[in-house]
Structure 1
């Protein structure tokens, strides 16, 4: 009995212990930081107020480390409270780089001495640093691990590391962990919650982390999976790596135009780019290092190993030295001081970037953000007027001029081609405005709807050591370092934003907040309304002619009967200002199942290169105009971006798993460089008595404007193809009959031989037997004759004797 009681008691204690271990981090922790190693506060430079601790994730089984710095001279009763969440460059690098370098609260010198940074973001916003994903920096696992497999199982419980879905496996857990962490943070600081009046939630996400935050926004939007949903005001994507399939292609072009490579290397890099896409498409991830990563590695080697962060530096020595100083300080001084706050394992050395965590994103690193993510964020009309597009979440994308890894050229192409949203055409047609800092040029920017793009001039990691070469007579000659540029850009973007979303961002980055820095001429009607409408300057929109639609009148729709189409229908003097598209949709209803279609596109003038695509389908199954435009760009492939003729047909469009969409192609197309493009399609099948849509897409494959005429004819099928088919079918049938008869004759002959030969043999045998019998009969007859003769002689002899 005693043993039974003891066993039950021990069992209960064990279960309680396991349960407690499973819920190790049940509540977020709050610890005010009263001192920081190697920082000496003074009356003029006191220690900034800050709090650090753990934020529970995964139902308390683990946690993320955070460090929160309230805005300078702020209190909880402030009318405006902007929270800026800082995510590390990632996917496995700690936040200390952002805290002690760049625009962090502190600056660290070569002797590991800390000073305050006057360009820190916490000067104008509440700043929250989070070490994410789990296993990075101070967010170490609660259970120590020694190998990749156990590490991966803790990181992604119950999830395949090779899972490729619309929501990538690794990213799925990172996004959910971030959501859990923020829920815990807002329980500690409820006045910062985005549901409070005057409070905004903003994210600063450079590098790879910029690829994760769109998923986070989508899960917090209507239809998202999160039960608790946060209202996100803005995201700032710095040098983002969003579309590897497109950005990999930019390395060759950026290196070539920057003078880092010669033409031979340019062509070889494009070959490797093709192989890189093939490896990723086929899931051949073991070879991706050879082809994909060799794109940038080869470019650096050909250029003499310039810094990938600043191509003007001949090596990464300065960057590596700064990282070495930071790593030494973090592990020797900061980590022991914060261990009690962060529940960090006793013995751990924190690398700048964790290879173990990075390896968990091995495949997802090469997958593009799905096409439907950004449009779902951007496509929302503003209360101002229907002509201006904004979004529930404002997006700022910035690039640093001399960064190679996520270079300006690749980012430009993402915004120009990949983000298929309602304001895309207008955004692409905008001129940029000058981004000034104290009357000095710090870069250029443009904005439309919820999207703002900035290119920052000068440097990445050095501060104020170069004279800015980008100036003219209206601006001062002087130094504009990258730290100051980022500070001004983020400050203006967040603090000048209207929380009611009733103003747009076109002047939000102007040097003078009271003045606009763009002219109305910078916002003309896009593509000159395709010359099928007039520009309404008051409404900043196109007033399209009847039958033409979209914000640049680039979509033409009409209904015709076959009788009219047989006499041809023309769309004359269509216009495309650059690399853009025009869509023509012709609807017909006929009592036939076959049509002959003749399409002719004539270029007017010497410039431009219109590529022509055509689809025929029922109206119910027809793609939308925007889908048709995107499909045309995909089917062309991105050989135009690469600057050479692709060796593979439809090189980029065959890699459809990047876009997570079903692959379709146009039935008919002409991408020649002739001034007259002709598509002659015979015996095109349609469904009789149902409305059919003949969709025509013209894409200008040149940066120069093009004007052209389009003529379409449709007739009842001539039957040439059908007659040829029938003749061929009959010929095949006749040939089969002849062959059958020949085979039958041969078979009959063989059967006859098989029947006759035995009979003949039998007959021969019979004949042989008959001859023998005859011979025997003759012998017998002779013998009988001889006996008879003898008998007669005997009788005759007896008669004589008598």
Structure 2
């Protein structure tokens, strides 16, 4: 999800000094502690000064026999507690890859993804109790869901994150502590999957990990290298200069509902060219908070805000009316239950998308800052990458995602730009259109809103598995009950 309001503050640059430095005399310590009737496993991590407190196998959400889960907190500093929920793979957990899931916002909980999209359980037909999701991402991989920054979801305490850049070191720190507590996962293939404002998060978190890995290799960073192999961005907000125009393009011409007539759109195109784009370019050239806050305000006031009110439509799924709620919010009531919170070890009340975290990001003008260069660096490093989008979403629509993908610079970029989109099939059924060149793929998903795995769970799981295991996506055809893979563009 993506929201838009303005404030003002200093833009902070990420650095090791932003994290609490450990004492050189500390060693990792493990213990258990009983707090308010809940037994927590405690792991004090010497290398980062962080502390993990978590519960084993709560029995909540994942009820498949023999599949372990851990939920709890990483304390990354004084009164800074980041929530995580980890699920083993249902098959071959001892050798399966590891993936991290981040929802967007900025400032929205990854429990959205867990319960509404791709987690081990979901709520069906208005049920108040979850049931197993057969298309969960942990059908294939071990998956960790992370609520960041502090204050989001079940995370609580002091939030020092004011931008995508300052968020990345805390994610690195959590992963380092997690790997030291659970060393069986540290050498596994690792993937980041994210959506919406994850168009900022994904490229920055991935590029930060690659930079830290270089530091580990040359001895300038203490820690474990992370074997990053894949990055997936679902309906991402990556580059405002490109995607603000796509708000107009999609509103005029999409599969489901015309929001603007061609004649009405002309004033918006003028506003884009005369007001929004120049402000975004000023943000990019100067890099100052004030310029980027101004760009955020100008583009919202001239394009995003007016178009979102120009017709009765839901910005996350244009097939719905503006006030419709889908996916249902059943899981929020479930996570408010005291018995559920106690079982999973949650120490705070759940907050899906709190305002405080968002305001900190808006205070640095984070929204209109482009993350194309970070995304290009990840692709150029050989990381298997996909930008994919449900084609009924307006807020981070597929047109804008496609336009961003067309600008990317990597070794196969020329071939990619000139290639046509081809049908993407799941067991012979067309679910969208795609193209793949080298380690980069783009996919438009039919009949899907903002949260693609909710609308097209079978296709989402296939994409997830293919990107991690094959390095690219490809169509599958049903033949005698088995799937035969057909690649497009090598």
- Asked if the contact 1:435/1:511 (under 8 Å) is kept, the reply is no
Distance 1:370 1:203, change over 3 A: closer
Alignment partners' CA distance in 1, 2:437 and 2:138? 28
What is the aligned partner in structure 2 of residue 307 from structure 1?
Answer: 314
8 Å CA contact 2:71–2:84 kept in 1: the answer is: yes
Corresponding position of 2:229: 233
- The answer to whether the 8 Å contact 1:492/1:509 transfers is no
Question: Would the alpha carbon gap of residues 262 and 449 (structure 1) be closer, same or farther in structure 2, given more than 3 Å must change?
Answer: same
What is aligned with 1:659?
A: none
Name the TM-score, length of structure 2 as normaliser.
Answer: 0.77
> How does the TM-score come out when normalised to structure 1?
0.48
CA distance in 2, matches of 1:318, 1:217: 32
Correspondence 1:64 to 2:73: no
Match of 1:53 in 2: 72
Point out the structure with max Rg over C-alpha.
1
Q: Secondary structure at the match of 1:460?
A: coil
Query: Structure 1 CA distance, aligned partners of 2:475 and 2:339?
Result: 36
Are 1:356 and 2:363 counterparts?
no
What displacement does 1:511 show?
A: 3.8
Residues 376/114 of structure 1: CA separation in 2 closer, same or farther (3 Å cut): closer
- Report the alpha carbon displacement of residue 410 of structure 1 after superposing the two structures with TM: 1.0
SS at match of 1:395: strand
Q: Secondary structure at the match of 2:52?
A: coil
CA contact (8 A) 2:206 2:231 kept: no
Q: Which runs of 5+ in 1 are unaligned?
A: 1-22, 144-153, 162-169, 380-390, 465-479, 498-504, 524-802
What secondary structure is seen at the aligned counterpart in 1 of 2:386?
strand
Structure 2: how far apart are the matches of 1:425 and 1:294? 34
Alignment RMSD (CA, Å)? 3.1
Are 2:419 and 1:430 equivalent residues in the alignment?
yes
Deviating above 6 A after TM superposition, structure 1's stretches of 4 or more consecutive aligned residues are 461-464
Q: Is the 8 A contact 2:393 2:450 kept in 1?
A: no
Q: Residue 425 of structure 2: SS of its match in structure 1?
A: strand
8 Å contact from structure 1 (residues 87, 206) kept in 2:
yes
C-alpha separation in 2, matches of 1:213 and 1:412: 17
Residue 389 of structure 2: aligned partner: 399
Q: 2 CA distance for matches of 1:483 and 1:514?
A: 17
1:189 maps to 182
Q: What residue is the counterpart of 1:488 in the other structure? A: 462
Q: What does 1:86-485 correspond to in 2, within 5 Å?
A: 86-109=101-124, 110-141=126-157, 154-156=159-161, 170-193=163-186, 196=187, 199-221=188-210, 227=221, 228=223, 229-258=225-254, 259-273=258-272, 274-280=274-280, 281=282, 283=290, 285=293, 288-289=296-297, 291-292=299-300, 294-302=302-310, 304-319=311-326, 322-323=328-329, 325-333=330-338, 336-338=341-343, 341-342=345-346, 344-345=347-348, 348=349, 350-362=350-362, 363-369=365-371, 371=373, 373-379=374-380, 391-417=381-407, 419-460=408-449, 481-485=455-459
Paired with 1:211 and 1:402, the residues of 2 have a C-alpha distance of 21
Cα distance in 1 for residues equivalent to 2:50 and 2:208: 24
CA contact (8 A) 1:175 1:216 kept: yes
SS of the equivalent of 1:318 reads coil
- Pair 352,49 (structure 1): closer, same or farther in 2 beyond 3 Å: same
**1:754-792 alpha-carbon deviations (Å, 9 max, x no partner):** xxxxxxxxxxxxxxxxxxxxxxxxxxxxxxxxxxxxxxx
Distance 2:419 2:437 in 1: 8
DSSP 3-state at the match of 1:361: helix
**Higher relative contact order (Cα pairs below 8 Å, separated by 6+ residues):** 2
CA 1:493–1:435 in structure 2 vs 1: closer, same or farther (change >3 Å)? same
Q: Distance in 2 between matches of 1:98 and 1:352?
A: 11
**What is the alpha-carbon distance in structure 1 between the residues aligned to residue 452 and residue 97 of structure 2?**
27
Count of matched residue positions in the alignment of Structure 1 and Structure 2: 419
